[in-house]
Amino acid sequence: MNAQQQSSQDEPIIRFEHVSKIYNVKGQEVRALDDVSLEIRRGAIYGIIGFSGAGKSTLMRMVNALETPTSGKVYVAGEDVEALRRRGLRSLRKNIGMIFQQFNLLESKTVFDNVAIPLVLNHEKKDAIKKRVDELLEFVGLSDRARSYPAQLSGGQKQRVGIARALATKPEILLCDEATSALDPDTTEQILKLLGRVSWELGVTILFVTHMINVITKLCDGVAVMEHGRIVEQGSVLDVFSDPRAEITRRFVSTVIPDRIPDSIVEKLKKEPHPGTLIRFRLRAKAATDNMIWQIDTGFKVKTNVMFASVTELQHVVLSVIILKIEGDPEEIKRVTAYLDAHEVEWDEVKI
Amino acid sequence: MLDAFFKELGTSTSQMALCANQTLYMLFVSLFLGSVIGIVLAVALVLTNKDGILRNKPVFFTVNTIINVVRSIPFVILMVFIMPFTKMLVGTRIGTTAALVPLTVFIAPYLARLFENSFLDVDKGIIEAAQSMGASTFQIIWHFLLPEAKGSLILSVTTGTIGLLGATAMAGAIGAGGVGDLALTYGYERMNFSLMLFTVIVLIVFVQIIQSVGNHFAFRTRNR
């Protein structure tokens, strides 16, 4: 709540400016990050997706100075991380919580003591710690497990403890490093819901690094796609995933939004003497979905046949992908595509 | 009854009590001093190694080499080799108290190695979590490294104690007394086999007790 009242509301809370990271491995230069620039606005739930080795974790770790850039600048809440680092990591890191894939809880301490640790490190008073920890355990729904040890908890419960611990010092930013990648789908869903509450109820900005696109579609509002140390695509989740441009984004998106003709139909089409032209449409709910095919059928001298169709909900917007086989005179098909362009329908031709 | 038993063995209750006392004194004093030095050395190794948070090649190399050098010297030789140092420190070369010096010098690097392994077993992620909270180096050691390694450290101390018990027997050679000395001078040299057998049994029982106590506390910290 405080975060939103601040005057610097429009200023991005995290800003990467031309950040590069170069490692020297046995005399060979390895570019882990290559001129990355990215802005994350206050209160956002921002996802960074990429396969392992894409540099996404390295990028995130620069926010709390666990990694330092070889060149470029990182700003948190308008301040240069490098300058903050020199003044003292404590003040910087107190404002940034972090949760991990393997939870990283202390096995030797109870749930209560695990959550209390950041407060103990800050030398806070005992009763203040007790009050805050009880509050946090209540928030994550683990009040009854305060006296348990991590070994007695399920993966989902452990991550709840991790979240409570990360929030103990009331940070403005929460970094999530593959935080749901070790959890089953049901538990992942619960943790994502909890992170949603962290965002809505506490106004915490969340930066989530993952290789799982489900997490991004369910939780995030902004996304950056990374490959080989570069950001290949970025924007709102809806824009990026409804119309993926980069090959890697298409690969990620195709796992949640099917957009390919099944192999058996492809085989059949290949055998046909007149395969026609295959056009793939990507439609958002508000577009002229209901009568587009009818328009083509009646307005042009072509024959259409639906080869594939899928409907997916993304960020409360319905996305449909339809692949239409259009047979007819090449000139007539060109008129169809011109008509699509005129109506701003996203389409591309599918080659088999 | 006890008096009669020890008399039968060719010794006396008071002598047995004295020997046991000397052994326990040597064992626990040098164990305590060795553990403190061992922990310090082990922490230094873990912090300064190539993945450590205070990565420092010269410090790591120096500590590592010292430990290796001291550990290469057999205890019997170490004992006489450092006699001038012993004299400087406690004012005498012989006797139970004098034996504490070589025993500590012997056990500290041994424990340091065992402790180092215990610390290396602590998940790197825990240290990263500690750093992400802004913990200082001291806080990382005190609040994360030590508690997480506790069970394993207790087992290391147990192993060290048993190794040290063997060394205290050899300390008899510089007049330190103790159970080992009893077995050698009264058992072996006077060919009193039953006394030797008795001391061997006592040592076996003692080692069993140390190991059981160590396991008990180690598992209590681990399996909660």
Same domain, A86 and A217: yes
DSSP code of A52?
T
Q: Which residue has the tokens 């709840």?
A: A160
Q: Which one of A238, A255, A272 terminates a domain?
A: A255
Q: What is the mean pLDDT of chain A?
A: 89
B173: buried, middle or exposed (CB in 10 Å: 19+, 13-18, 0-12)?
A: middle
A105: in domain? no
A66, A105, A117 member nearest B131 (Cβ) = A66
Positive or negative CA dihedral for B40, B42, B43, B49? positive
- Cβ of B134 and A104 within 8 Å? no
In a shared domain, residues A241 and A283: no
Q: Are residues A233 and A329 in the same domain?
A: no
pLDDT surpassing 80 at residue A10: no
One domain, residues A88 and A181: yes
Q: Are the beta carbons of B125 and A102 separated by less than 8 Å?
A: yes
Indicate whether A271 belongs to any domain: yes
Indicate if the alpha-carbon torsion angle A168, A172, A178, A184 is positive or negative.
positive
Tell whether A94 lies on the interface with B, counting CB pairs under 8 A: yes
Question: And the tokens for A5?
Answer: 């009242």
Could you say which of B123, B135, B223 has the minimum Cβ distance to residue A104? B123
CA distance A30 to chain B (A): 19
Considering the domain boundaries, does residue A314 fall inside one?
yes
Chain B CB within 8 Å of residue A148 CB: no
Beta-strand relationship, A173-177 and A71-76: unpaired
Write the residue in B129, B134, B150 that is nearest to A100 by C-beta.
B129
Question: CB distance from B87 to chain A under 8 Å?
Answer: no
Closest CA to B66 of B45, B96, B52, B43: B45
Report the helix count and the strand count for chain B, using DSSP H and E: 11, 0
Measured between CA atoms, how close is B213 to chain A, in angstroms?
19
- Where a domain ends, among A255, A271, A293? A255
ipTM of the complex: 0.84
Q: Are strands A96-100 and A222-227 parallel, antiparallel or unpaired?
A: unpaired
Distance set, CA A256 to CA A52, A261, A311, B9 (Å): 19, 15, 10, 84
* Chain A residues in contact with B129 (beta carbon < 8 A): 98, 100, 104-105
Whether A102 is covered by a domain: the verdict is no
Q: How far apart are CA A35 and CA A229, in angstroms?
A: 8
pLDDT digits (tens, 9 = 90+) for B144-167: 999 999 999 999 999 999 999 989
Asked if the Cβ–Cβ distance from A66 to B125 is below 8 Å, we say no
Q: Are residues A247 and A343 in the same domain?
A: no
Q: Say whether both A244 and A305 belong to one domain.
A: no
Q: Find all residues with CB under 8 Å of B94, minimum gap 6, and list them.
A: B174, B175, B176
Q: Distance between CA B118 and CA B105 in Å, rounded?
A: 21
Q: Which domain holds residue A273?
A: 259-350
Q: Do A108 and B221 touch (CB under 8 A)?
A: yes
Give yes or no: residues A206 and A227 share one domain.
Answer: yes
- Distance CA(A50)–CA(A345), nearest Å, equals 28
Compute the count of residue pairs across chains A and B with CB atoms less than 8 Å apart.
56
Asked if B224 lies within 8 A of A149 by C-beta distance, the reply is yes
Tens of pLDDT, residues B78-96: 999 999 999 999 998 888 9
How many domains is chain A partitioned into structurally? 2
pTM to 2 decimals? 0.85
Domain membership flag for residue A199: yes
- Domain B11-222, what fold? MetI-like fold (1.10.3720)
The answer as to whether A312 is a domain residue is yes
Distance CA(A10)–CA(A6), nearest Å, equals 9
Asked whether residue A191 falls in the same domain as residue A331, the answer is no
Kindly state whether residues A329 and A223 are assigned to the same domain: no
Are A319 and A210 members of one domain? no
Locate the domains of chain B by residue range: 11-222
Rounded-to-integer distance, Cα A128 and Cα A122, Å? 12
Residue A7 has pLDDT above 50, yes or no: no
A151: which chain B residues are within 8 Å (Cβ-Cβ)? Answer: 223-224
Res A34 pLDDT > 90: yes
Of A223, A255, A287, which residue constitutes the final position of a domain? A255
**Cα A36 to Cα B158: distance, rounded to the nearest angstrom:** 53
CA distance B16 to B156: 29
Name which of A298, A293, A352, A302 is nearest A330 in CA terms.
A302
B142 touches chain A (CB under 8 A): no
Q: State the pLDDT at residue B36.
A: 97
Of B125, B147, B150, the CB nearest to A104: B125
| CATH number of the domain residue A46 falls in | 3.40.50.300
The alpha carbon of residue B69 and the mean position of all alpha carbons in its chain are separated, in whole angstroms, by 17
Alpha-carbon distance of B63 to B109, in angstroms, equals 10
Mutate to test the interface with B, among A107, A109, A113 (most CBs of B within 10 A): A107
Give the burial class of B107: count Cβ atoms within 10 A of its Cβ; 0-12 exposed, 13-18 middle, 19 or more buried: buried
Q: What are the CA-CA distances from residue B101 to residues A236, B77, B78, B182 (Å)?
A: 70, 13, 10, 21
Alpha-carbon gap: A262 to the closest alpha carbon of chain B (Å): 43
Q: Is the pLDDT of residue B114 over 90?
A: yes
- Asked if residue A277 and residue A345 are part of one domain, the reply reads yes
| pLDDT value at residue A290 | 60
Q: Is the pLDDT of residue A3 over 70?
A: no
A282 or B127: which leads in pLDDT: B127
Does residue A346 lie in a domain region? yes
pLDDT in tens, B167-206: 998 888 788 888 888 888 888 888 888 888 888 898 999 9
A267 band by pLDDT with thresholds 50, 70 and 90: confident
Nearest CA in chain B to A105: B126
User: A199 and A336 share a domain?
Assistant: no
- Alpha-carbon radius of gyration of chain B: 20
